[in-house]
Every structure is written in C-alpha cells, then in structure tokens.
C-alpha cells in the first residue's frame, strides 16, 4: 500500500463553502474513489493559510489517478470544485495537486 | 480510531538534516510511540514552504499526547528536534503542533 499526502491551496473566502460541500460528497463520487483504489482517505484544512491537505492509501497511485481521470462523474466533480482553488494554472484540482514527500513511517 | 493531521514549520535551511534524522529515529522513540497509541504514523514535507505534515491514527489523541509527554525518551527527542522548527514560541514540537481540521473521510 502506498501512503499518499498531497496539498492544495483553497481560496480563503470560499473555505467554509468547500467544507460544507464535503459533508455531502455525491455518493457516485465516493463509489468511484473506492472502486479506483482510494482508501482510508481523509481531507484536512489549515485555516491559517487555507491549505487543503489530503491523505489516502492506495495499491498504486498512478492507477488511482488514471482511474478517476477516466470517469465522467470525476469530470463533473472537478469542474464543480475548480473555482475553490488558487494557483492551479488551468489544471483540474486532481491534476494540480502537489504530492508531499513522505519522510517517515511507523506502522 | 481518531485520524489526526497536524502541521509544523521547519527551518528551510535545516530541512535536509531533519529528513536525514528521520531515516533513523531512535528505536526507543519508535517503541514509545507505538506503546502510547500512535499508529499508521506518516510524516510528509512540502519543500515549497518547509511545512511538515503529520498523519496518524490513535484511539485517543489526548492519551497519545499525554503518554508521550511523560516519557524521558520523548523529552530527549523533542529537545533534539526543537531547533529545527520555527514559530514554536518556547513550546516543544509535540506541544506546538497545529492540529488540522478533518473535513472529509472515506473508508
């Protein structure tokens, strides 16, 4: 299992709305994530600079990303989310995420 | 199980050394973490702003923190690490960590 950390920047004035939307992620989006290998997936925010930090576990990161990239429900979700992020430079949030460097692990 | 995210700021010029030290964390420190309920514990860094991001799972965060706070090996480790962090304002790294707000979870 690969343990993945990533980080994105949210627009500070849209942070509350982003949090609210994540209390009710579309069931078909959740199903798609599970089917494409996104497990034990948490999102965290740091309000001090509107950072969004994600953690998940997957057998194969590239397959998890490619699997979601092919799905229509993901197109719709990412288009819906795109306006909440800064500095994506035309990329979708799932393409623009900065993968964090894993430096330590304790089982 | 509680899923905990936290964030600290490292001194940019000491980041490489911090990473290196985490390839060989003292065995008695690892043992102490496990015994006090720190499980599935990953540390990540974001070199863009020298953020250190931690993720772990624990039955009880307060017990995990209090458990470590009592141990002499933790005193020694935190003293060793203190100079690598910025903006701790006199606190030890394990006291100064900013707990992130968990906004989403998918099993």
Q: Is A87 left (phi over 0), alpha (psi -120 to 50) or beta?
A: left
Residue B65 CB partners (closer than 8 Å, separation 6+): B94
Catalytic site positions of A? 22
Domains located in chain A, CATH noted: 2-99 (3.30.70.100)
pLDDT in tens, B10-69: 999 999 999 999 999 999 999 999 999 999 999 999 998 899 999 999 999 999 999 999
Statement: residue A95 has pLDDT above 70: no
Chain A residue with CA closest to B27: the answer is A106
For the cut 90, the answer to whether the pLDDT of residue A82 exceeds it is no
What ipTM describes this predicted complex? 0.90
Residue B102: CA atoms inside 13 Å, Cβ hemisphere, count? 16
Read out DSSP for A60-103? Answer: -HHHHHHHHHT-HHHHHHHHHHHTTBSS-TT--HHHH-EEPEEE
What's the whole-model pTM score? Answer: 0.92
Judged by CB atoms closer than 8 Å, whether chains meet at B104 and A34 is answered as no
Give CA–CA dist B52/A102, Å, rounded.
Answer: 10
Q: Is B15 on the interface with A (CB under 8 A)?
A: no
Residue B103: band (very low, low, confident or very high) from pLDDT cuts 50, 70, 90: confident
C-beta of residue B56 within 8 angstroms of C-beta of residue B38: yes
Identify which of A42, A51, A101 has the shortest CB distance to residue B105: A42
**pLDDT digits 0-9 by tens, A3-60:** 999 999 999 999 999 999 999 999 999 999 999 999 999 999 999 889 999 999 999 9
DSSP letter at B13?
A: G
pLDDT digits (tens, 9 = 90+) for B74-97: 999 999 998 899 865 666 666 666
| Chain pair A-B, CB pairs under 8 angstroms | 103
Put simply, the answer to whether B41 touches A104 (Cβ < 8 Å) is yes
pLDDT at position A64 is 95
A23 CB neighbours in chain B (<8 A) are 103
Closest CA to B54 of A30, A52, A104, A31: A104
Asked if B106's CB is within 8 angstroms of A30's CB, the reply is: yes
CA distance A78 to A21: 13
A20 and chain B: CB distance < 8 Å anywhere? no
**CB of A55 within 8 Å of any CB in chain B?**
yes
CB A80 within 8 Å of CB B93: no
């Amino acid at each position: 299992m690969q343990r993945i950390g990533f980080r994105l920047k949210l627009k500070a004035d849209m942070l509350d709305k982003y949090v609210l939307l994540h209390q009710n992620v579309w069931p078909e989006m959740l199903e798609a994530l599970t089917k494409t290998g996104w497990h034990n997936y948490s999102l965290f925010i740091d309000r001090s600079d509107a950072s969004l930090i994600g953690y998940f576990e997957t057998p194969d990161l590239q397959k998890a990303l490619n699997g979601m990239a092919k799905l229509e429900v993901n197109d719709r979700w990412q288009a819906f989310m795109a306006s909440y992020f800064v500095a994506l430079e035309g990329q979708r949030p799932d393409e623009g995420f900065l993968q964090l460097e894993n430096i330590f692990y304790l089982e």
